[in-house]
Amino acid sequence: MIYLSIVYLAQGKQLQALGAGGNPPSVGSGSQNQGVALAQATISAQQNTILALQSTLTAQQNPLSTQPVTPVDQTALNKTLLVGPLDGTLVHKIDGLIKTHWAGQSTENFIFNVTVQNPYSADVHPWDASIRFRRNYLDEYRLTIFSNHQWTLTKGGSTQPVDSGNIANLKTGAGESNTFNLIVQDGIAMLSVNDVHLPGMDVSAYKEPGDVGIAIGTQTGNEIEGKTTVFNDFTLWNIP
């Protein structure tokens, strides 16, 4: 790409030289015009090549997020109900621990649905809600939704995101709630928030069966002592 840029600059100077100098030359003007046209065509082709290389590089860096998300027809899946629907409460406590309600099941591929009520307005204090999955004594994934409209996917206890993004339609006011629907199948996870689908996430690095749960306090400082996060319709299905 550096080489192409140098060629582009050099040929641009040649075009400036051809167009400068006052009166057009009386000898060889036809061949010069052909040369200008050829140079312009070459530069245009090189610009297209650069754009194509940039697009290819972007797609290679994050192949899943560049692909359009096709909603999964969950009614067509061969799913088996494991837990729910059920309701519960997670109590905020400033102790540095993640509070989790587990399904008490072990599954690799699943559909998980839950509605989480905001503990308070995001204008008052930040909060988070995390879906922990493929949790066992070896490892897990944590998909965390933050009250600032951000989400991150992390593996194990790492703070380095495997993937991240924005949730424009997240409701953050007091008394409001958000419905999260997560489908995990083999190496891909797909989350929808209030029926809006996010880009697919790569979870192929760890595909062992494990538990699934809803959690709060994944990030230190995202709780108010004594407040509660209520969840409803906690439901887990196993899929092939």
Same-domain status, 53 and 84: no
Query: In 3-state terms, what secondary structure has residue 74?
Result: helix
Give the domain range for residue 154. 80-238
Asked if the model's pLDDT at residue 126 lies above 80, the reply is yes
Asked, for residue 126, whether it belongs to a domain, the answer is: yes
Same-domain status, 9 and 110: no
Same-domain status, 84 and 194: yes
Same-domain status, 43 and 139: no
pLDDT digits (tens, 9 = 90+) for 9-38: 344 444 344 344 444 444 444 555 565 555
pLDDT digits (tens, 9 = 90+) for 42-68: 545 555 544 443 443 334 344 444 344
Angle between the 29-61 and 2-19 helix axes, to the nearest 10 degrees?
160
- Give the dihedral sign, CA 108/159/202/131: positive
CA 117 to chain centre: 23
Bond before 126 cis per omega within 30 degrees: no
Same-domain status, 39 and 148: no
Asked, for residue 66, whether it belongs to a domain, the answer is: no
Same-domain status, 113 and 221: yes
Query: In 3-state terms, what secondary structure has residue 50?
Result: helix
Same-domain status, 185 and 222: yes
Same-domain status, 52 and 150: no
Same-domain status, 145 and 108: yes
pLDDT grade for 78, boundaries at 50, 70 and 90: confident
Asked, for residue 25, whether it belongs to a domain, the answer is: no
Asked, for residue 28, whether it belongs to a domain, the answer is: no
Helices and strands (DSSP H and E) totals, the chain: 2, 13
Site of tokens 């008052």: 124
Asked, for residue 73, whether it belongs to a domain, the answer is: no
Ranges of H-type helices in the chain: 2-19, 29-61
Q: Tell me how many domains the chain contains.
A: 2
Same-domain status, 118 and 55: no
| CB contact set of 12 (below 8 Å; sequence gap of 6+) | 43
Asked, for residue 84, whether it belongs to a domain, the answer is: yes
Same-domain status, 225 and 188: yes
Asked, for residue 138, whether it belongs to a domain, the answer is: yes
Site of tokens 């519960």: 88
Asked if the model's pLDDT at residue 138 lies above 70, the reply is yes
Asked, for residue 47, whether it belongs to a domain, the answer is: yes
Comparing 240 with 50, which gets the higher pLDDT? Answer: 240
pLDDT digits (tens, 9 = 90+) for 149-184: 999 999 988 888 999 999 999 999 999 999 999 999
Q: The domain spanning residue 178 has which CATH number?
A: 2.60.120.560
Same-domain status, 171 and 122: yes
81 forms bridges with which residues in the sheet? 237
User: Could you give phi then psi for residue 183, rounded to 5 degrees?
Assistant: -115, 125
Please give the full DSSP string across 184-235, using - where no structure is assigned: EETTEEEEEETTEEPPPEE-TT----BEEEEEE-SSTT---TT-EEEEEEEE
pTM over 0.75: no
